[in-house]
Structure 1
Amino acid sequence: MYVPPYNMKITGTTRKNKPDIPNQMKIGSREVPASSFCHSGDVTLVSYKPKKNKIVLLVSTKMTKFNIGEARKPEMVLFYNKTKGGTDTFDKLCHAYTTARATNRWPMRFFFGMLDQASVNVRILETCKNSRADATVNKSPQVTMKSLIFHLITPYMRQRLEINTLRIDLRRGIGMILGLSPDDMLEEERPKLLKRARCASCPSSKDKKTQMQCPSCKRPMCDDYRIYLCNECGGCD
Protein backbone atom coordinates (compact mmCIF):
# COMPACT_ATOMS: atom_id res chain seq x y z
CA MET A 1 0.00 0.00 0.00
CA TYR A 2 1.39 3.39 -1.04
CA VAL A 3 2.00 5.97 1.68
CA PRO A 4 2.70 9.59 0.65
CA PRO A 5 6.15 10.81 1.79
CA TYR A 6 4.78 13.70 3.87
CA ASN A 7 6.13 12.47 7.24
CA MET A 8 2.62 12.55 8.71
CA LYS A 9 0.75 10.00 10.80
CA ILE A 10 -2.78 9.24 9.62
CA THR A 11 -5.70 7.14 10.78
CA GLY A 12 -8.87 6.79 8.74
CA THR A 13 -11.37 4.55 7.06
CA THR A 14 -10.98 3.08 3.59
CA ARG A 15 -13.26 1.39 1.09
CA LYS A 16 -13.38 -2.28 0.21
CA ASN A 17 -12.82 -1.73 -3.51
CA LYS A 18 -9.14 -0.89 -3.08
CA PRO A 19 -6.95 -3.43 -4.92
CA ASP A 20 -4.29 -3.39 -2.17
CA ILE A 21 -6.66 -4.81 0.46
CA PRO A 22 -6.45 -8.62 0.80
CA ASN A 23 -9.64 -10.57 0.22
CA GLN A 24 -9.38 -12.13 3.68
CA MET A 25 -9.87 -8.67 5.23
CA LYS A 26 -13.10 -8.13 3.29
CA ILE A 27 -14.77 -11.23 4.71
CA GLY A 28 -15.90 -11.11 8.33
CA SER A 29 -16.11 -14.04 10.73
CA ARG A 30 -19.33 -15.39 12.18
CA GLU A 31 -18.64 -13.90 15.60
CA VAL A 32 -19.81 -10.39 16.46
CA PRO A 33 -17.82 -8.32 17.23
CA ALA A 34 -14.67 -9.61 15.51
CA SER A 35 -11.40 -8.05 14.37
CA SER A 36 -8.68 -8.98 11.88
CA PHE A 37 -5.33 -7.24 11.54
CA CYS A 38 -2.91 -6.87 8.66
CA HIS A 39 0.50 -5.21 8.70
CA SER A 40 2.69 -4.00 5.82
CA GLY A 41 5.67 -1.77 6.49
CA ASP A 42 4.47 1.29 8.42
CA VAL A 43 0.81 0.69 7.56
CA THR A 44 -1.60 -1.25 9.76
CA LEU A 45 -5.00 -2.40 8.50
CA VAL A 46 -7.81 -3.60 10.72
CA SER A 47 -11.06 -5.21 9.61
CA TYR A 48 -13.65 -4.69 12.33
CA LYS A 49 -17.11 -6.33 12.26
CA PRO A 50 -19.34 -4.46 14.75
CA LYS A 51 -22.53 -6.27 13.71
CA LYS A 52 -23.86 -8.73 11.18
CA ASN A 53 -23.36 -7.88 7.48
CA LYS A 54 -21.16 -4.86 8.24
CA ILE A 55 -17.37 -4.53 8.04
CA VAL A 56 -15.34 -1.41 8.81
CA LEU A 57 -11.83 -1.10 7.38
CA LEU A 58 -9.39 1.29 9.06
CA VAL A 59 -5.85 2.15 8.01
CA SER A 60 -3.32 3.74 10.33
CA THR A 61 0.34 4.71 10.24
CA LYS A 62 0.22 5.92 13.86
CA MET A 63 -0.95 2.78 15.69
CA THR A 64 0.94 -0.40 14.82
CA LYS A 65 -0.01 -2.71 17.72
CA PHE A 66 -2.80 -5.26 17.48
CA ASN A 67 -4.47 -4.38 20.78
CA ILE A 68 -8.13 -4.89 21.70
CA GLY A 69 -9.70 -2.35 24.00
CA GLU A 70 -13.01 -2.07 25.82
CA ALA A 71 -16.17 -3.64 24.34
CA ARG A 72 -13.89 -5.90 22.28
CA LYS A 73 -13.05 -3.00 19.97
CA PRO A 74 -9.54 -2.51 18.57
CA GLU A 75 -7.68 0.46 19.99
CA MET A 76 -7.42 1.82 16.47
CA VAL A 77 -11.23 2.00 16.25
CA LEU A 78 -11.45 3.67 19.67
CA PHE A 79 -8.83 6.23 18.67
CA TYR A 80 -10.64 6.95 15.40
CA ASN A 81 -13.97 7.43 17.17
CA LYS A 82 -12.40 10.02 19.48
CA THR A 83 -10.79 12.05 16.68
CA LYS A 84 -13.26 11.76 13.80
CA GLY A 85 -15.43 14.57 15.22
CA GLY A 86 -13.16 17.20 13.67
CA THR A 87 -13.75 15.89 10.15
CA ASP A 88 -17.51 15.63 10.70
CA THR A 89 -17.65 19.18 12.07
CA PHE A 90 -15.63 20.50 9.13
CA ASP A 91 -17.98 18.82 6.64
CA LYS A 92 -20.97 20.25 8.51
CA LEU A 93 -19.56 23.77 8.30
CA CYS A 94 -18.83 23.34 4.59
CA HIS A 95 -22.42 22.31 3.88
CA ALA A 96 -23.95 25.01 6.10
CA TYR A 97 -23.01 27.83 3.68
CA THR A 98 -22.03 25.92 0.56
CA THR A 99 -21.36 27.46 -2.84
CA ALA A 100 -22.02 24.21 -4.70
CA ARG A 101 -24.61 24.06 -7.47
CA ALA A 102 -26.03 21.16 -9.45
CA THR A 103 -23.57 20.35 -12.22
CA ASN A 104 -22.36 17.37 -14.26
CA ARG A 105 -18.86 18.78 -14.67
CA TRP A 106 -16.59 17.21 -12.08
CA PRO A 107 -13.93 20.01 -12.29
CA MET A 108 -16.61 22.48 -11.22
CA ARG A 109 -17.57 20.22 -8.32
CA PHE A 110 -13.95 20.19 -7.17
CA PHE A 111 -13.87 23.98 -7.49
CA PHE A 112 -17.03 24.33 -5.37
CA GLY A 113 -15.44 22.11 -2.73
CA MET A 114 -12.30 24.28 -2.71
CA LEU A 115 -14.43 27.40 -2.18
CA ASP A 116 -16.33 25.78 0.70
CA GLN A 117 -13.13 24.69 2.40
CA ALA A 118 -11.55 28.12 1.87
CA SER A 119 -14.61 29.75 3.45
CA VAL A 120 -14.36 27.57 6.56
CA ASN A 121 -10.60 28.15 6.82
CA VAL A 122 -11.14 31.91 6.61
CA ARG A 123 -13.61 31.72 9.50
CA ILE A 124 -11.13 29.70 11.56
CA LEU A 125 -8.27 32.12 10.87
CA GLU A 126 -10.52 35.10 11.62
CA THR A 127 -11.51 33.57 14.95
CA CYS A 128 -7.87 32.88 15.87
CA LYS A 129 -6.91 36.43 14.91
CA ASN A 130 -9.68 37.94 17.06
CA SER A 131 -8.78 35.73 20.02
CA ARG A 132 -5.13 36.81 19.90
CA ALA A 133 -6.09 40.46 19.57
CA ASP A 134 -8.56 40.16 22.46
CA ALA A 135 -11.37 41.28 20.17
CA THR A 136 -14.84 41.15 21.68
CA VAL A 137 -16.73 41.24 18.35
CA ASN A 138 -16.73 38.09 16.23
CA LYS A 139 -17.81 38.25 12.61
CA SER A 140 -20.80 36.16 11.59
CA PRO A 141 -20.39 33.47 8.89
CA GLN A 142 -22.28 35.66 6.41
CA VAL A 143 -19.97 38.64 6.96
CA THR A 144 -16.88 36.45 6.70
CA MET A 145 -18.11 34.91 3.44
CA LYS A 146 -18.87 38.34 1.97
CA SER A 147 -15.37 39.56 2.81
CA LEU A 148 -13.89 36.44 1.18
CA ILE A 149 -16.01 36.91 -1.95
CA PHE A 150 -15.02 40.57 -2.21
CA HIS A 151 -11.34 39.65 -1.81
CA LEU A 152 -11.61 37.09 -4.65
CA ILE A 153 -13.52 39.26 -7.14
CA THR A 154 -11.65 42.55 -6.58
CA PRO A 155 -8.71 41.71 -8.92
CA TYR A 156 -11.15 40.63 -11.64
CA MET A 157 -13.21 43.82 -11.33
CA ARG A 158 -10.10 46.00 -11.49
CA GLN A 159 -9.03 44.10 -14.59
CA ARG A 160 -12.39 44.82 -16.20
CA LEU A 161 -12.01 48.52 -15.45
CA GLU A 162 -8.93 48.56 -17.68
CA ILE A 163 -11.13 47.71 -20.71
CA ASN A 164 -11.59 51.04 -22.47
CA THR A 165 -14.69 49.92 -24.38
CA LEU A 166 -16.58 48.85 -21.24
CA ARG A 167 -20.09 50.31 -20.98
CA ILE A 168 -20.27 53.37 -18.80
CA ASP A 169 -23.03 51.96 -16.57
CA LEU A 170 -20.95 48.83 -15.88
CA ARG A 171 -17.90 50.97 -15.22
CA ARG A 172 -19.77 53.10 -12.71
CA GLY A 173 -21.33 50.05 -11.05
CA ILE A 174 -17.91 48.42 -10.60
CA GLY A 175 -16.56 51.73 -9.29
CA MET A 176 -19.32 51.89 -6.68
CA ILE A 177 -18.55 48.32 -5.53
CA LEU A 178 -14.83 49.06 -5.29
CA GLY A 179 -15.48 52.36 -3.54
CA LEU A 180 -13.74 54.50 -6.17
CA SER A 181 -14.33 58.25 -6.15
CA PRO A 182 -15.98 59.99 -9.13
CA ASP A 183 -12.67 61.70 -9.92
CA ASP A 184 -10.94 58.34 -10.26
CA MET A 185 -13.72 57.06 -12.48
CA LEU A 186 -13.56 60.17 -14.64
CA GLU A 187 -9.85 59.76 -15.06
CA GLU A 188 -10.33 56.19 -16.21
CA GLU A 189 -13.22 57.08 -18.54
CA ARG A 190 -11.26 59.88 -20.27
CA PRO A 191 -7.66 58.74 -20.80
CA LYS A 192 -5.04 61.43 -21.34
CA LEU A 193 -1.61 61.57 -22.90
CA LEU A 194 1.42 62.50 -20.87
CA LYS A 195 2.43 65.10 -23.48
CA ARG A 196 0.40 67.10 -25.95
CA ALA A 197 0.34 65.63 -29.46
CA ARG A 198 -1.12 66.53 -32.85
CA CYS A 199 -4.74 65.47 -33.33
CA ALA A 200 -4.98 62.41 -35.59
CA SER A 201 -8.28 63.55 -37.13
CA CYS A 202 -7.41 67.17 -37.89
CA PRO A 203 -5.43 68.04 -41.05
CA SER A 204 -1.74 68.65 -40.57
CA SER A 205 -2.12 72.23 -41.73
CA LYS A 206 -4.01 73.13 -38.56
CA ASP A 207 -1.32 71.58 -36.35
CA LYS A 208 -3.82 71.29 -33.52
CA LYS A 209 -2.34 69.84 -30.31
CA THR A 210 -4.31 67.97 -27.64
CA GLN A 211 -3.73 65.87 -24.56
CA MET A 212 -6.90 63.80 -24.90
CA GLN A 213 -6.95 60.48 -26.71
CA CYS A 214 -9.50 58.02 -28.07
CA PRO A 215 -10.36 55.36 -25.45
CA SER A 216 -10.46 52.66 -28.13
CA CYS A 217 -7.55 53.25 -30.55
CA LYS A 218 -5.46 55.45 -28.20
CA ARG A 219 -4.87 58.08 -30.91
CA PRO A 220 -4.76 61.79 -29.99
CA MET A 221 -8.21 63.37 -30.34
CA CYS A 222 -9.12 67.03 -29.93
CA ASP A 223 -12.42 68.47 -28.70
CA ASP A 224 -13.74 68.96 -32.24
CA TYR A 225 -14.04 65.20 -32.74
CA ARG A 226 -15.21 64.22 -29.29
CA ILE A 227 -18.88 63.42 -28.74
CA TYR A 228 -20.59 64.43 -25.47
CA LEU A 229 -23.49 62.29 -24.28
CA CYS A 230 -25.75 62.33 -21.24
CA ASN A 231 -25.66 59.60 -18.60
CA GLU A 232 -28.63 57.72 -20.10
CA CYS A 233 -27.26 57.73 -23.63
CA GLY A 234 -23.76 56.91 -22.49
CA GLY A 235 -25.00 53.75 -20.80
CA CYS A 236 -26.82 52.42 -23.88
CA ASP A 237 -25.39 49.83 -26.23
Structure 2
Amino acid sequence: MASYKKSAETKKKILDASKKLFYEKGYKATSCKEICELADVNLGLIHYHFKTKKNIASIIYANSLLEVKDLVRIKMNKIYRYYELKYGTAIENWVFMSGYLMDENYRRFFYEICQENVLVDERTDIIDFFYRLHVNIYNLDISPKEVKLIRVCVAAITMALVEKHVENYLDLSIEELIEYKIRNLYKLMKLSDEDINDIVKTSYDMYQNLNIEFGKHFEIYRIESLTSKAFVI
Protein backbone atom coordinates (compact mmCIF):
# COMPACT_ATOMS: atom_id res chain seq x y z
CA MET A 1 0.00 0.00 0.00
CA ALA A 2 2.83 2.41 0.88
CA SER A 3 4.55 1.61 -2.42
CA TYR A 4 1.34 2.27 -4.38
CA LYS A 5 0.79 5.57 -2.57
CA LYS A 6 4.35 6.70 -3.31
CA SER A 7 3.97 5.74 -6.97
CA ALA A 8 0.71 7.70 -7.24
CA GLU A 9 2.30 10.71 -5.56
CA THR A 10 5.26 10.58 -7.95
CA LYS A 11 2.98 10.42 -10.99
CA LYS A 12 0.98 13.37 -9.69
CA LYS A 13 4.13 15.41 -9.12
CA ILE A 14 5.28 14.70 -12.67
CA LEU A 15 1.87 15.57 -14.12
CA ASP A 16 1.59 18.78 -12.07
CA ALA A 17 5.07 19.88 -13.13
CA SER A 18 4.27 19.05 -16.75
CA LYS A 19 1.06 21.07 -16.64
CA LYS A 20 2.91 24.11 -15.36
CA LEU A 21 5.73 23.84 -17.91
CA PHE A 22 3.54 22.91 -20.88
CA TYR A 23 1.34 25.92 -20.14
CA GLU A 24 4.14 28.41 -19.52
CA LYS A 25 6.79 27.22 -22.02
CA GLY A 26 4.90 25.03 -24.44
CA TYR A 27 4.99 21.30 -25.09
CA LYS A 28 7.91 21.29 -27.51
CA ALA A 29 10.13 23.65 -25.52
CA THR A 30 9.76 21.61 -22.33
CA SER A 31 12.29 18.84 -21.74
CA CYS A 32 11.88 15.75 -19.56
CA LYS A 33 14.84 17.01 -17.54
CA GLU A 34 13.00 20.25 -16.74
CA ILE A 35 9.89 18.34 -15.73
CA CYS A 36 11.88 16.16 -13.34
CA GLU A 37 13.72 19.11 -11.85
CA LEU A 38 10.47 20.93 -11.13
CA ALA A 39 8.82 17.76 -9.81
CA ASP A 40 11.96 16.92 -7.80
CA VAL A 41 12.12 13.34 -9.08
CA ASN A 42 14.73 11.26 -10.89
CA LEU A 43 14.74 11.44 -14.68
CA GLY A 44 14.22 7.68 -14.98
CA LEU A 45 10.82 7.95 -13.30
CA ILE A 46 9.29 9.60 -16.36
CA HIS A 47 10.18 6.56 -18.45
CA TYR A 48 9.04 4.22 -15.67
CA HIS A 49 5.61 5.83 -15.22
CA PHE A 50 4.89 7.38 -18.63
CA LYS A 51 7.49 6.12 -21.12
CA THR A 52 7.56 9.42 -23.08
CA LYS A 53 6.77 13.13 -22.83
CA LYS A 54 4.14 12.60 -25.52
CA ASN A 55 2.29 10.17 -23.24
CA ILE A 56 2.25 12.80 -20.49
CA ALA A 57 0.72 15.33 -22.89
CA SER A 58 -1.83 12.74 -24.00
CA ILE A 59 -2.91 12.08 -20.41
CA ILE A 60 -3.19 15.80 -19.64
CA TYR A 61 -5.27 16.34 -22.78
CA ALA A 62 -7.56 13.36 -22.09
CA ASN A 63 -8.01 14.36 -18.44
CA SER A 64 -8.96 17.89 -19.50
CA LEU A 65 -11.59 16.46 -21.83
CA LEU A 66 -13.04 14.30 -19.05
CA GLU A 67 -13.06 17.21 -16.58
CA VAL A 68 -14.96 19.34 -19.06
CA LYS A 69 -17.43 16.48 -19.67
CA ASP A 70 -18.10 16.10 -15.95
CA LEU A 71 -18.43 19.83 -15.42
CA VAL A 72 -20.83 20.30 -18.34
CA ARG A 73 -23.04 17.51 -17.00
CA ILE A 74 -23.05 19.06 -13.51
CA LYS A 75 -23.83 22.54 -14.81
CA MET A 76 -26.56 21.35 -17.20
CA ASN A 77 -28.28 19.45 -14.41
CA LYS A 78 -28.03 22.45 -12.10
CA ILE A 79 -29.16 25.14 -14.55
CA TYR A 80 -31.49 23.24 -16.88
CA ARG A 81 -32.49 20.34 -14.59
CA TYR A 82 -31.61 17.73 -17.20
CA TYR A 83 -28.69 16.34 -19.17
CA GLU A 84 -29.01 15.33 -22.82
CA LEU A 85 -25.98 13.57 -24.31
CA LYS A 86 -26.12 15.09 -27.79
CA TYR A 87 -26.36 18.64 -26.42
CA GLY A 88 -23.83 17.96 -23.68
CA THR A 89 -21.26 16.64 -26.15
CA ALA A 90 -21.68 19.69 -28.38
CA ILE A 91 -21.39 22.01 -25.37
CA GLU A 92 -18.19 20.23 -24.38
CA ASN A 93 -16.79 21.14 -27.78
CA TRP A 94 -17.78 24.79 -27.36
CA VAL A 95 -16.17 24.89 -23.91
CA PHE A 96 -13.03 22.90 -24.65
CA MET A 97 -12.17 24.32 -28.06
CA SER A 98 -12.86 27.90 -26.91
CA GLY A 99 -10.78 27.42 -23.78
CA TYR A 100 -7.86 25.99 -25.70
CA LEU A 101 -7.94 28.44 -28.61
CA MET A 102 -8.70 31.77 -26.92
CA ASP A 103 -5.77 31.62 -24.49
CA GLU A 104 -2.34 32.07 -26.09
CA ASN A 105 -0.61 29.49 -23.89
CA TYR A 106 -3.28 26.82 -24.33
CA ARG A 107 -3.40 27.55 -28.05
CA ARG A 108 0.34 26.90 -28.33
CA PHE A 109 0.01 23.62 -26.40
CA PHE A 110 -3.00 22.53 -28.47
CA TYR A 111 -1.22 23.37 -31.71
CA GLU A 112 1.93 21.50 -30.74
CA ILE A 113 0.17 18.33 -29.59
CA CYS A 114 -1.90 18.36 -32.77
CA GLN A 115 1.34 18.40 -34.75
CA GLU A 116 2.41 15.34 -32.74
CA ASN A 117 -0.89 13.52 -33.48
CA VAL A 118 -1.58 13.22 -29.75
CA LEU A 119 -5.35 13.29 -30.32
CA VAL A 120 -5.26 9.81 -31.87
CA ASP A 121 -2.88 8.40 -29.27
CA GLU A 122 -3.96 5.13 -27.62
CA ARG A 123 -4.26 6.93 -24.30
CA THR A 124 -7.15 8.97 -25.69
CA ASP A 125 -9.12 5.92 -26.84
CA ILE A 126 -11.44 6.35 -23.85
CA ILE A 127 -13.27 8.75 -26.19
CA ASP A 128 -14.55 5.64 -28.04
CA PHE A 129 -16.81 5.02 -25.05
CA PHE A 130 -18.64 8.31 -25.50
CA TYR A 131 -19.29 7.60 -29.17
CA ARG A 132 -20.67 4.20 -28.21
CA LEU A 133 -22.98 5.95 -25.75
CA HIS A 134 -24.47 7.94 -28.63
CA VAL A 135 -24.96 4.73 -30.61
CA ASN A 136 -26.74 3.02 -27.72
CA ILE A 137 -28.85 5.95 -26.50
CA TYR A 138 -30.01 7.14 -29.92
CA ASN A 139 -30.10 3.70 -31.56
CA LEU A 140 -27.74 4.75 -34.35
CA ASP A 141 -26.91 2.39 -37.18
CA ILE A 142 -23.17 2.45 -36.46
CA SER A 143 -21.01 -0.65 -35.97
CA PRO A 144 -18.15 -0.97 -33.44
CA LYS A 145 -15.69 -0.70 -36.34
CA GLU A 146 -17.35 2.52 -37.46
CA VAL A 147 -17.10 3.95 -33.94
CA LYS A 148 -13.32 3.66 -34.11
CA LEU A 149 -13.29 5.17 -37.59
CA ILE A 150 -15.43 8.08 -36.43
CA ARG A 151 -13.15 8.78 -33.47
CA VAL A 152 -10.09 8.82 -35.72
CA CYS A 153 -11.81 11.00 -38.33
CA VAL A 154 -13.04 13.51 -35.75
CA ALA A 155 -9.58 13.66 -34.18
CA ALA A 156 -8.03 14.21 -37.61
CA ILE A 157 -10.54 16.98 -38.38
CA THR A 158 -9.82 18.61 -35.02
CA MET A 159 -6.05 18.48 -35.48
CA ALA A 160 -6.25 19.91 -39.00
CA LEU A 161 -8.63 22.69 -37.95
CA VAL A 162 -6.46 23.67 -34.98
CA GLU A 163 -3.23 23.67 -36.99
CA LYS A 164 -4.64 25.71 -39.86
CA HIS A 165 -6.43 28.10 -37.50
CA VAL A 166 -3.23 28.86 -35.61
CA GLU A 167 -1.35 29.24 -38.90
CA ASN A 168 -4.01 31.77 -40.04
CA TYR A 169 -4.90 29.68 -43.07
CA LEU A 170 -8.63 29.58 -42.29
CA ASP A 171 -10.79 32.67 -42.60
CA LEU A 172 -13.02 31.53 -39.75
CA SER A 173 -13.78 32.81 -36.28
CA ILE A 174 -13.23 30.42 -33.38
CA GLU A 175 -17.00 29.98 -33.07
CA GLU A 176 -17.34 29.15 -36.78
CA LEU A 177 -14.50 26.65 -36.50
CA ILE A 178 -16.10 24.91 -33.50
CA GLU A 179 -19.48 24.82 -35.22
CA TYR A 180 -17.85 23.22 -38.28
CA LYS A 181 -16.31 20.53 -36.08
CA ILE A 182 -19.62 19.81 -34.29
CA ARG A 183 -21.50 19.57 -37.57
CA ASN A 184 -18.98 17.12 -39.00
CA LEU A 185 -18.98 15.06 -35.80
CA TYR A 186 -22.72 14.48 -36.07
CA LYS A 187 -22.67 14.04 -39.85
CA LEU A 188 -20.24 11.17 -39.31
CA MET A 189 -22.70 9.76 -36.77
CA LYS A 190 -25.40 9.83 -39.47
CA LEU A 191 -27.72 12.38 -37.88
CA SER A 192 -30.05 14.38 -40.11
CA ASP A 193 -29.38 18.01 -41.05
CA GLU A 194 -32.46 18.98 -39.03
CA ASP A 195 -31.10 17.26 -35.91
CA ILE A 196 -27.65 18.76 -36.42
CA ASN A 197 -29.06 22.28 -36.80
CA ASP A 198 -30.99 21.79 -33.56
CA ILE A 199 -27.89 20.49 -31.74
CA VAL A 200 -25.74 23.41 -32.90
CA LYS A 201 -28.27 26.10 -31.97
CA THR A 202 -29.43 24.58 -28.68
CA SER A 203 -25.94 23.69 -27.47
CA TYR A 204 -24.58 27.16 -28.26
CA ASP A 205 -27.42 28.86 -26.39
CA MET A 206 -26.87 26.59 -23.38
CA TYR A 207 -23.08 26.98 -23.54
CA GLN A 208 -23.38 30.75 -23.17
CA ASN A 209 -25.16 30.28 -19.83
CA LEU A 210 -22.78 27.75 -18.26
CA ASN A 211 -19.92 30.12 -17.35
CA ILE A 212 -17.05 27.64 -17.55
CA GLU A 213 -13.53 29.04 -17.81
CA PHE A 214 -9.98 27.73 -18.10
CA GLY A 215 -7.46 29.00 -15.57
CA LYS A 216 -3.70 28.62 -15.77
CA HIS A 217 -1.94 25.24 -15.70
CA PHE A 218 -4.95 23.24 -16.92
CA GLU A 219 -7.28 24.28 -14.12
CA ILE A 220 -10.92 24.46 -15.16
CA TYR A 221 -13.31 26.74 -13.30
CA ARG A 222 -17.04 26.81 -12.87
CA ILE A 223 -18.35 30.31 -12.27
CA GLU A 224 -21.48 30.14 -10.14
CA SER A 225 -22.50 33.73 -10.81
CA LEU A 226 -21.02 37.01 -11.92
CA THR A 227 -20.27 37.96 -8.32
CA SER A 228 -19.51 34.61 -6.70
CA LYS A 229 -16.16 32.97 -6.28
CA ALA A 230 -14.85 30.49 -8.84
CA PHE A 231 -14.44 26.84 -7.88
CA VAL A 232 -11.48 24.92 -9.25
CA ILE A 233 -12.14 21.45 -10.61
Assess same fold via TM > 0.5. Answer: no
Relative contact order, CA 8 A, sep 6+: which one is greater? 2
Counting strand residues as a fraction of each chain, which structure ranks higher?
1
Decide which structure has the larger Cα Rg and report it: 1
TM-score range, shorter chain: under 0.3
TM-score by length of 1: 0.22
TM-score by length of 2: 0.22
Counting helix residues as a fraction of each chain, which structure ranks higher?
2
